[in-house]
């Protein structure tokens, strides 16, 4: 240094920036992460609750069928439970009778298992004294349709 110029010193750099407070972009990112975690948690709770409700309804279906003493009573119980499930998502469908009820139960299935298959026993099987058909496939079909009606109703309720 030149001795003629007193009091001059070297250049001092400012201290490096601290980690707090974060830049605005980090605040936005933190808010976005919190919102996504909140949404995912809430959705997970809803899905789990819906699954619990469906499993409880399926257990009720199985208990209703098991509580019936004979084949016509089992078919009647299956029909009643199917109507209850239909009333949740499709209220007018629960009042259908005969072929219209079986067509509703067929839904979009091209094989028409209720109106042209083993599910046709639901139309009048509950009113017969003696059934000459095996009702196990009919009950399995009714259980599957019961489940799909509940899932449809839960999905429609979730979208509303």
**pLDDT tops 80 at residue 151:** yes
2-57 per-position pLDDT tens digit:
566 667 778 888 988 888 888 899 999 999 999 999 999 999 999 999 999 999 99
Angle at 54 between CA 151 and CA 141, to 5 degrees: 65
Structure-token match 């208990």, residue found: 63
Helical residues (DSSP H) of 5-70, grouped into ranges: 24-67
Describe the crossing of helices 24-67 and 71-89 by its angle, rounded to 10 degrees. Answer: 150
Give the Cα separation of 73 and 93 in Å (integer).
22
Higher pLDDT, 50 or 153: 50
Structure-token match 């919102």, residue found: 35
pTM over 0.95: no
Structural domain count of the chain = 1
Q: Is residue 117 a part of any domain in this protein? A: yes
Residue 111: which domain range? 59-159
> Which sign does the torsion angle of CA 151, 155, 156, 158 carry?
positive
At residue 152 the predicted structure's pLDDT band, cuts being 50, 70 and 90, is: confident
Q: Are 139 and 65 in contact (CB under 8 A)?
A: yes
Higher pLDDT, 71 or 35: 35
For the segment 79-90, the average pLDDT, to the nearest whole number, is 90
> What's the confidence (pLDDT) of residue 157?
63
Q: In a 3-state reduction of DSSP, which class is residue 121?
A: helix
Q: Is residue 70 a part of any domain in this protein? A: yes
> What's the confidence (pLDDT) of residue 2?
59
Q: Is residue 69 a part of any domain in this protein? A: yes
92-131 per-position pLDDT tens digit:
987 888 889 999 999 888 999 998 888 888 888 777 777 7
Q: Per the structure block, which two tokens stand in for 113?
A: 């298992």
Q: Is residue 63 a part of any domain in this protein? A: yes
Q: Is residue 115 a part of any domain in this protein? A: yes
């Amino acid at each position: 240094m030149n001795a003629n110029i007193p009091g001059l010193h070297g250049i001092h750099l400012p201290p490096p920036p601290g980690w707090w407070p974060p830049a605005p972009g980090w605040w936005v990112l933190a808010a976005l992460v919190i919102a996504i975690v909140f949404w995912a948690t809430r959705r997970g709770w809803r899905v789990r609750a819906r699954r619990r409700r469906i499993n409880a309804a399926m257990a009720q279906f199985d208990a209703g069928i098991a509580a019936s003493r004979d084949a016509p009573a089992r078919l009647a119980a299956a029909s009643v439970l199917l109507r209850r499930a239909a009333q949740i998502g499709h209220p007018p469908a629960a009042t259908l009778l005969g072929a219209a009820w079986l067509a509703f139960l067929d839904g979009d299935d091209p094989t028409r298992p209720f109106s042209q298959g083993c599910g046709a026993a639901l139309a009048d099987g509950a009113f017969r004294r003696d059934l000459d058909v095996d009702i196990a496939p009919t009950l399995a079909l009714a259980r599957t349709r019961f489940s799909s009606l509940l899932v449809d109703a839960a999905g429609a309720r979730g979208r509303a």
